[in-house]
Amino acid sequence: MSIDQGTTGTRAIIFDENGLPVKNGVAYLEHRQIYPRPGWVEHDPIEIWENTKLVIKKALEGSGVDPRSIKAIGVTNQRETIVVWNVKTGRPVYNAIVWQDRRTAPLIDYLKQHYFESIKKKTGLIPDCYFSSTKIWWLLQQDKSLRERMESGEVVIGTIDTWLIWNLTRGSRDNLTPERNGAHVTDYSNASRTMLFNIYKLDWDDELLEIQGKIPRETLPLPRPSSEIYGFTGPEVSRELFNGVEIPVAGDAGDQQAALFGQAGFEVGSTKCTYGTGNFILMNTGSNPVESKHGLLTTIYYSLQPGRAEYALEGSIFITGAAIQWLRDGLKIIEVSAEVNPLAEAAPDTGGVYFVPAFVGLGAPYWDPYARGLIIGITRGIERKHIARAVLESIAYLTRDVVEAMKSDTGINISVLKADGGVAKSDFLLQFQADILNVRVVRPVVYETTSLGVAYLAGIAVGVWISIDEIKKNWRAEKMFEPRMNEETRERLYRGWKSAVQRALGWAREVPWAYGYDKQ
């Protein structure tokens, strides 16, 4: 069973040994998005945990699977989102601060000015609000009692995977950190996204902890491989969800790393793009990390044994599918998300409109927390269908920005881009992606490759699958999209996109009073 805890919702899927979802063994629930101020994004960790239990129940009930036949549970998650909680009560001390949150932009400005090279050299990351560390630093600034509670062991920190694994194993003494009342662990891939983890030594870095608010090392989770038994479901969870059966929790990976694993991206140069709330493009670079000179991140891909890891280059795009939700919930020009595709297809082009979805700044390869979204090129003849098409096209343009950077960093010409995630169901989008990249785009039979990837990792830990070669044989293509746009049109459209992006960069810095930055 995989638990995929994402930015907008939580999914549980039961897979068989062929890597296929069991019939009716899928359940999904959305959770609230909390926006206390412009640029701030929070989630309720208790709501996420309660939803996790509900989707587990629904997947088991829907499939009719006997809990005794569940060999292992894997957890994959929205990365960088931080939870701080009391290990005695199980209650969070604050809402989860989400990866999209921009409140720590002034702290990032300080780190960029004084510690940019040190952070990049040790973590492979470019200092940004996106990552976990400054969220913790901000919490320590807001609550002066928090440090003492952390140092005493009463309060601990974790990303969402850590929060869920701790809750799943709570009360079980047979876990890696019994003194924490549950397995207080994370895997190397999630740890590598905190801006506190040395990706070469595979451990928390004392200097990085010191310069980012003196974060107490003892409050952080134990970093472990992505495939390992971290513990077993605790007595309460086992009774409530699994008819008393104790099930090993044995897989953990950040959602994007899990997606590349589920796409069987095991060769150097294998590249996937997950089209979800944001877009995340990962290229396998093998056991040797590649330092990016073009705005990408060097990150840990996965690990199957302590002290060793595989690496990837990543381009993180913050807002893509979330822009479709904005069309639905904000502008209300569509009633359900699926309507965006026929609406976009009704327009032969965008009428010269470009949409830059910099709602929370821009990620790779721009890394500007002060960028803000725009729609440009509007004339009197523009209708909602043109806006819908411009939103979908923006997703493909942003992906090309990252792919171009990957080519420059590695010298590898990507011939195939594997696509997954909910937004990849759009044939219109994937065809435009193939056209603007001039690369074949392939969609697999199993869209939910994030869930599949962590199911594989959990299964490897308990012997369901013996090797990566066994997993590779399970991968199947559902549809291929070949480029058909001529070169002149492709480059003309892309030049227009780059011009639009330049107009979006740095906007919040120009009007800081609109976003609260002048008060911090």
Q: Specify the CATH number for the domain of residue 346.
A: 3.30.420.40
Lookup: tokens for 376: 């440009």
Instruction: Band the pLDDT of 277: cuts 50, 70, 90.
Output: confident
Q: Could you report the per-residue pLDDT of 227-240, keeping only the tens digit for each?
A: 999 999 999 999 99
Phi-psi domain of 311 (left: phi exceeds 0; alpha: psi -120 through 50; beta: other)? beta
Number of structural domains in the chain: 1
Tally: H helices and E strands in the chain: 17, 23
Beta-carbon contacts of residue 191 (< 8 Å; ≥ 6 apart): 197, 204, 221, 223, 300
Tell me if 42 is assigned to some domain.
no
- Which amino acid is located at 435 in the chain? D
User: Can you spell out the DSSP letters for 31-45?
Assistant: ---B-SSTT--EE-H
pLDDT digits (tens, 9 = 90+) for 86-145: 999 999 999 999 998 989 989 999 999 999 999 999 999 989 898 999 999 999 999 989
pTM of the model: 0.86
The answer, yes or no, to whether residue 260 has pLDDT greater than 90, is: yes
Does residue 196 sit within a domain?
no
Give the residue from 83, 60, 68 showing the smallest Cα distance to 3. 60
- Bridge partners of 356, per DSSP, are 374
Q: How far apart are the first and last CA of the chain?
A: 44
CB 73 within 8 A of CB 183: no
pLDDT of residue 258 exceeding 80: yes
Query: What is the rounded CA–CA span in Å between residue 357 and residue 447?
Result: 24
Report if residue 366 sits inside a domain: yes
Is 365 inside any structural domain?
Answer: yes
Query: Is residue 280, in this structure, part of any structural domain at all?
Result: no
In the predicted model, what is the mean pLDDT of residues 410-435? 93
Is 348 inside a domain boundary? yes
**Which stretch of 59-68, 251-260, 443-452 has the lowest confidence by average pLDDT?**
443-452
Does a structural domain hold residue 173? Answer: no
Within-domain flag for 117: no
DSSP three-state, residue 115:
helix
pLDDT per residue as tens digits for the range 167-213: 999 998 888 998 899 999 999 999 999 999 999 999 999 999 999 99
Mean pLDDT of the chain: 93
- Residues of the domain holding 338: 322-394+486-519
pLDDT for position 418:
96
Can you name the residues that pair with 164 across neighbouring β-strands? none
State the pLDDT confidence band at 514, using cuts at 50, 70 and 90. Answer: low
